[in-house]
Chains A and B, each alone.
Chain A
Amino acid sequence: GAVVSQHPSRVICKSGTSVKIECRSLDFQATTMFWYRQFPKQSLMLMATSNEGSKATYEQGVEKDKFLINHASLTLSTLTVTSAHPEDSSFYICSAGQVASPLHFGNGTRLTVT
Protein backbone atom coordinates (compact mmCIF):
# COMPACT_ATOMS: atom_id res chain seq x y z
CA GLY A 1 0.00 0.00 0.00
CA ALA A 2 0.88 3.66 -0.14
CA VAL A 3 3.65 4.71 2.19
CA VAL A 4 4.43 8.12 3.61
CA SER A 5 7.81 8.79 5.15
CA GLN A 6 8.42 11.60 7.65
CA HIS A 7 11.74 12.86 8.97
CA PRO A 8 12.99 13.51 11.61
CA SER A 9 11.06 11.40 14.10
CA ARG A 10 12.24 13.44 17.04
CA VAL A 11 13.88 16.84 17.37
CA ILE A 12 14.90 19.02 20.27
CA CYS A 13 15.70 22.64 19.54
CA LYS A 14 16.33 25.83 21.41
CA SER A 15 13.78 28.59 21.59
CA GLY A 16 14.11 30.99 18.68
CA THR A 17 15.52 28.51 16.21
CA SER A 18 13.77 27.00 13.19
CA VAL A 19 13.05 23.36 12.50
CA LYS A 20 12.25 21.72 9.17
CA ILE A 21 10.17 18.56 8.92
CA GLU A 22 10.04 16.56 5.69
CA CYS A 23 7.19 14.43 4.43
CA ARG A 24 7.61 12.18 1.41
CA SER A 25 5.18 10.00 -0.47
CA LEU A 26 7.23 6.96 -1.45
CA ASP A 27 5.17 5.13 -4.04
CA PHE A 28 2.62 7.58 -5.36
CA GLN A 29 2.45 11.19 -6.47
CA ALA A 30 0.79 13.43 -3.92
CA THR A 31 -0.50 16.71 -5.28
CA THR A 32 -2.01 17.32 -1.88
CA MET A 33 -0.60 16.58 1.56
CA PHE A 34 -2.03 17.41 4.95
CA TRP A 35 -0.23 18.53 8.09
CA TYR A 36 -1.67 17.79 11.51
CA ARG A 37 -0.62 18.67 15.04
CA GLN A 38 -1.40 16.60 18.11
CA PHE A 39 -0.94 17.81 21.67
CA PRO A 40 -0.65 15.23 24.47
CA LYS A 41 -3.84 13.30 25.13
CA GLN A 42 -5.65 15.16 22.36
CA SER A 43 -6.80 14.39 18.87
CA LEU A 44 -5.19 15.30 15.58
CA MET A 45 -5.96 18.83 14.46
CA LEU A 46 -5.52 19.85 10.84
CA MET A 47 -3.03 22.68 10.48
CA ALA A 48 -2.84 23.13 6.75
CA THR A 49 -3.33 21.61 3.34
CA SER A 50 -0.19 21.54 1.23
CA ASN A 51 -0.71 21.87 -2.51
CA GLU A 52 2.02 21.03 -5.00
CA GLY A 53 3.11 24.12 -6.91
CA SER A 54 0.87 26.55 -5.05
CA LYS A 55 0.38 28.12 -1.66
CA ALA A 56 -0.74 26.08 1.28
CA THR A 57 -4.17 26.56 2.78
CA TYR A 58 -4.04 27.15 6.52
CA GLU A 59 -6.74 26.40 9.06
CA GLN A 60 -8.12 29.18 11.17
CA GLY A 61 -5.82 30.06 14.01
CA VAL A 62 -2.67 28.63 12.43
CA GLU A 63 -0.04 31.28 11.74
CA LYS A 64 1.16 30.90 8.18
CA ASP A 65 4.30 32.96 8.84
CA LYS A 66 5.25 30.70 11.70
CA PHE A 67 4.50 27.37 10.03
CA LEU A 68 5.95 27.61 6.54
CA ILE A 69 4.87 24.91 4.14
CA ASN A 70 6.58 24.16 0.87
CA HIS A 71 5.36 21.53 -1.58
CA ALA A 72 7.82 21.86 -4.41
CA SER A 73 7.46 18.39 -5.89
CA LEU A 74 4.85 15.68 -6.19
CA THR A 75 6.56 13.60 -3.53
CA LEU A 76 7.83 16.09 -0.98
CA SER A 77 6.22 18.57 1.37
CA THR A 78 8.10 20.37 4.12
CA LEU A 79 6.90 22.11 7.26
CA THR A 80 9.23 24.65 8.83
CA VAL A 81 8.49 25.84 12.33
CA THR A 82 10.12 29.26 12.45
CA SER A 83 11.32 30.94 15.63
CA ALA A 84 10.09 28.03 17.67
CA HIS A 85 8.89 28.56 21.23
CA PRO A 86 8.10 26.05 23.98
CA GLU A 87 4.38 26.27 23.21
CA ASP A 88 5.15 24.89 19.73
CA SER A 89 6.29 21.64 21.32
CA SER A 90 3.96 19.02 19.92
CA PHE A 91 3.63 15.97 17.72
CA TYR A 92 3.49 16.93 14.03
CA ILE A 93 2.29 14.37 11.52
CA CYS A 94 1.77 14.54 7.79
CA SER A 95 -0.53 12.53 5.58
CA ALA A 96 -1.35 11.94 1.95
CA GLY A 97 -3.61 9.76 -0.12
CA GLN A 98 -5.88 9.47 -3.10
CA VAL A 99 -9.45 10.71 -3.43
CA ALA A 100 -12.04 8.63 -1.57
CA SER A 101 -9.34 6.48 -0.02
CA PRO A 102 -7.68 6.27 3.37
CA LEU A 103 -5.04 8.85 4.12
CA HIS A 104 -1.67 7.35 4.92
CA PHE A 105 0.37 8.94 7.65
CA GLY A 106 4.03 9.46 8.29
CA ASN A 107 5.32 8.27 11.64
CA GLY A 108 5.23 11.79 13.02
CA THR A 109 7.78 14.20 14.45
CA ARG A 110 7.95 14.88 18.13
CA LEU A 111 9.19 18.44 18.56
CA THR A 112 10.50 19.68 21.88
CA VAL A 113 11.47 23.33 22.18
CA THR A 114 13.61 24.17 25.20
Chain B
Amino acid sequence: AQKITQTQPGMFVQEKEAVTLDCTYDTSDQSYGLFWYKQPSSGEMIFLIYQGSYDEQNATEGRYSLNFQKARKSANLVISASQLGDSAMYFCAMREGTGNTPLVFGKGTRLSVIA
Protein backbone atom coordinates (compact mmCIF):
# COMPACT_ATOMS: atom_id res chain seq x y z
CA ALA B 1 0.00 0.00 0.00
CA GLN B 2 1.10 3.53 -0.70
CA LYS B 3 2.44 5.19 2.40
CA ILE B 4 2.02 8.71 1.05
CA THR B 5 -0.75 9.60 -1.39
CA GLN B 6 -0.91 12.85 -3.29
CA THR B 7 -3.99 12.80 -5.49
CA GLN B 8 -3.39 16.04 -7.40
CA PRO B 9 -0.85 15.57 -10.21
CA GLY B 10 -1.16 19.25 -11.12
CA MET B 11 -2.68 22.39 -9.67
CA PHE B 12 -3.11 25.94 -10.92
CA VAL B 13 -3.49 28.97 -8.70
CA GLN B 14 -3.79 32.67 -9.38
CA GLU B 15 -1.02 34.85 -8.03
CA LYS B 16 -1.79 36.18 -4.52
CA GLU B 17 -4.40 33.50 -3.93
CA ALA B 18 -4.11 30.63 -1.44
CA VAL B 19 -3.82 27.01 -2.52
CA THR B 20 -4.09 23.68 -0.71
CA LEU B 21 -2.08 20.65 -1.74
CA ASP B 22 -3.48 17.37 -0.48
CA CYS B 23 -1.58 14.60 1.25
CA THR B 24 -2.75 11.49 3.05
CA TYR B 25 -0.52 8.98 4.75
CA ASP B 26 -0.61 5.43 6.02
CA THR B 27 1.40 4.17 8.96
CA SER B 28 0.97 1.91 11.96
CA ASP B 29 3.70 3.71 13.91
CA GLN B 30 2.63 6.03 16.71
CA SER B 31 5.70 8.18 16.22
CA TYR B 32 6.27 9.69 12.80
CA GLY B 33 7.02 12.97 11.09
CA LEU B 34 5.40 14.55 8.07
CA PHE B 35 7.30 16.86 5.76
CA TRP B 36 6.74 18.95 2.69
CA TYR B 37 9.48 19.67 0.19
CA LYS B 38 9.57 21.91 -2.86
CA GLN B 39 11.50 20.88 -5.95
CA PRO B 40 12.01 23.57 -8.58
CA SER B 41 13.13 22.68 -12.10
CA SER B 42 16.76 22.86 -10.96
CA GLY B 43 16.18 19.65 -8.98
CA GLU B 44 17.17 20.75 -5.52
CA MET B 45 14.96 19.64 -2.65
CA ILE B 46 13.90 22.53 -0.45
CA PHE B 47 12.45 21.72 2.98
CA LEU B 48 9.31 23.71 3.69
CA ILE B 49 7.57 22.49 6.82
CA TYR B 50 7.45 19.69 9.40
CA GLN B 51 4.72 18.22 11.58
CA GLY B 52 5.41 15.66 14.28
CA SER B 53 2.79 13.06 15.06
CA TYR B 54 2.52 14.24 18.64
CA ASP B 55 2.28 17.92 17.77
CA GLU B 56 -1.16 19.18 18.67
CA GLN B 57 -0.90 22.46 16.84
CA ASN B 58 -0.64 22.79 13.10
CA ALA B 59 2.82 23.78 11.93
CA THR B 60 3.34 27.13 10.25
CA GLU B 61 6.38 28.59 8.49
CA GLY B 62 5.83 31.97 6.92
CA ARG B 63 3.38 31.54 4.04
CA TYR B 64 3.27 27.79 4.54
CA SER B 65 0.98 26.01 6.96
CA LEU B 66 0.25 22.35 7.44
CA ASN B 67 -3.33 21.30 8.05
CA PHE B 68 -2.79 18.19 10.17
CA GLN B 69 -5.80 15.97 10.74
CA LYS B 70 -4.48 12.94 12.55
CA ALA B 71 -7.70 10.93 12.65
CA ARG B 72 -8.09 11.30 8.91
CA LYS B 73 -4.35 10.75 8.37
CA SER B 74 -4.05 13.84 6.28
CA ALA B 75 -1.35 16.52 6.18
CA ASN B 76 -2.33 19.11 3.61
CA LEU B 77 -0.03 21.98 2.74
CA VAL B 78 -1.55 25.44 2.49
CA ILE B 79 0.37 28.13 0.66
CA SER B 80 -1.01 31.60 1.20
CA ALA B 81 -0.52 34.60 -1.08
CA SER B 82 0.95 32.53 -3.93
CA GLN B 83 3.88 33.97 -5.83
CA LEU B 84 5.19 33.18 -9.29
CA GLY B 85 8.28 31.68 -7.67
CA ASP B 86 6.10 29.08 -5.96
CA SER B 87 5.69 27.25 -9.27
CA ALA B 88 7.41 23.90 -8.69
CA MET B 89 6.86 20.26 -7.74
CA TYR B 90 5.74 19.73 -4.16
CA PHE B 91 6.34 16.47 -2.36
CA CYS B 92 4.74 15.24 0.83
CA ALA B 93 6.93 12.80 2.76
CA MET B 94 7.03 10.83 5.99
CA ARG B 95 9.65 9.50 8.37
CA GLU B 96 8.37 6.63 10.48
CA GLY B 97 9.55 5.52 13.89
CA THR B 98 12.00 7.04 16.31
CA GLY B 99 15.30 6.19 14.63
CA ASN B 100 17.20 7.82 11.82
CA THR B 101 14.83 6.55 9.15
CA PRO B 102 14.53 7.60 5.52
CA LEU B 103 11.90 9.80 3.98
CA VAL B 104 9.19 8.10 1.95
CA PHE B 105 7.76 10.38 -0.70
CA GLY B 106 4.44 10.79 -2.41
CA LYS B 107 4.26 11.16 -6.18
CA GLY B 108 4.17 14.92 -5.96
CA THR B 109 1.97 17.77 -7.15
CA ARG B 110 3.07 20.23 -9.81
CA LEU B 111 1.92 23.69 -8.84
CA SER B 112 1.69 26.40 -11.45
CA VAL B 113 1.11 29.98 -10.33
CA ILE B 114 -0.56 32.17 -12.94
CA ALA B 115 -0.04 35.93 -13.10
Which residues of A are in contact with B by a Cβ distance under 8 Å? 31-32, 34, 38, 42-46, 49, 91, 93, 95, 97-105, 107-108, 110
B interface SS class? loop
Q: How far is the CA of A59 from the CA of B35 in the complex (A)?
A: 21
Q: How far is the CA of A96 from the CA of B90 in the complex (A)?
A: 19
Query: Please, which residues of chain A bring their CB within 8 A of the CB of B100?
Result: 31-32, 97-99
Which residues of B are in contact with A by a Cβ distance under 8 Å? 33, 35, 37, 42-45, 47, 50, 52, 91, 95, 98-100, 102-108
Q: Are A99 and B98 interface neighbours, CB within 8 A?
A: yes
Q: Are A99 and B50 interface neighbours, CB within 8 A?
A: no
Query: Please, which residues of chain A bring their CB within 8 A of the CB of B33?
Result: 100-101
Known contacts A93-B45, A108-B43, A110-B43: does B105 contact A44 (CB below 8 Å)?
A: yes
Q: Are A43 and B44 interface neighbours, CB within 8 A?
A: no
How close is B58's CB to chain A, nearest CB, in angstroms? 17
Query: Please, which residues of chain A bring their CB within 8 A of the CB of B35?
Result: 102-103
Q: Are B102 and A43 interface neighbours, CB within 8 A?
A: no
